[in-house]
Structure 1
Amino acid sequence: MSYTALAALAVVVALCMDWVVLRTRVTATRRWWSAYAIVLVFQLVTNGWLTGRRIVTYDPRAIIGSGQVRFIGDGRLVFAPVEDLGFGFALALASVAWWCWWNRRLGATEE
């Protein structure tokens, strides 16, 4: 399975977990999208630094675009493949959804 397919699958699984399995509906809140914007900025900075300096490389057959490292274009955003955005979104969403679910289950109050 390609990195593109795995990233897309991760996003779908995280959204299903948020809406159907855990029923936290984190993505329906403005608080989530505000927090995710902050996460996204730092993800782009970190991924950009790692991929722009070629510390992390990707097989061009597994990602959108070619193997050329560009700042923007050819399937890349701030040097990193766009698939990284999907994985980052899925990871952040799954973590927050589980956190909210456990807080509810343990009786903690949300502020």
Structure 2
Amino acid sequence: MSYTVAAAVAVLAVLVIDLFVTRTRLVCTLRWWLSYAIIAAFQLLTNGWLTGRSIVTYRPDAILGGGAVRFIGDWRLAYAPVEDLGFGFALVLLTLIVWSRVGGRERR
């Protein structure tokens, strides 16, 4: 499975969990999108540092675009492949879904 396919599956799976399984519907709120914008900015800074300096590398055949490390373009944003944003989205959303569900049970 390529990194691209794994990222797409992760995003779709977490959206299904949010909207249909737990029905937390975080992605339907402005609070989620404002929070995610802040997180994504720091994710791009971190990923950009790691991939721009070749501390972390990706197999060119496993990601969209090629193997050239560019600041922007060729399916890269701040040096990192766009798939990293998908994984970040899925990880943060799943964490907040669980946090919402567990926190809700503790209040009851």
Shorter-chain-normalised TM-score: which range?
over 0.9
Q: CA deviation at 1:65?
A: 0.4
Show CA shifts across 1:4-42 (max 9, x none): 000000000111111111111111111100100000000
Name the aligned partner's letter for residue 11 of structure 1: V
Give the structure 1 partner of residue 67 of structure 2: 67
Give the structure 2 partner of residue 52 of structure 1: 52
Instruction: Name stretches of at least 5 consecutive residues in structure 2 with no aligned partner.
Output: none
Name the aligned partner's letter for residue 69 of structure 1: V
How many matched pairs? 108
Give the structure 2 partner of residue 98 of structure 1: 98
Instruction: Name stretches of at least 5 consecutive residues in structure 1 with no aligned partner.
Output: none
More helix by share: 2
The 5 Å alignment of 1:69-88 reads 69-88=69-88
Dislocated runs of 4+, deviation >2 Å: none
Q: CA deviation at 1:45?
A: 0.1
TM-score, structure 2 length as denominator? Answer: 0.97
Show CA shifts across 1:33-81 (max 9, x none): 0100000000000000000000000000000000000000011000000
CA contact (8 A) 1:71 1:78 kept: yes
Q: CA deviation at 1:89?
A: 0.2
- RMSD over aligned CA atoms reads 0.8
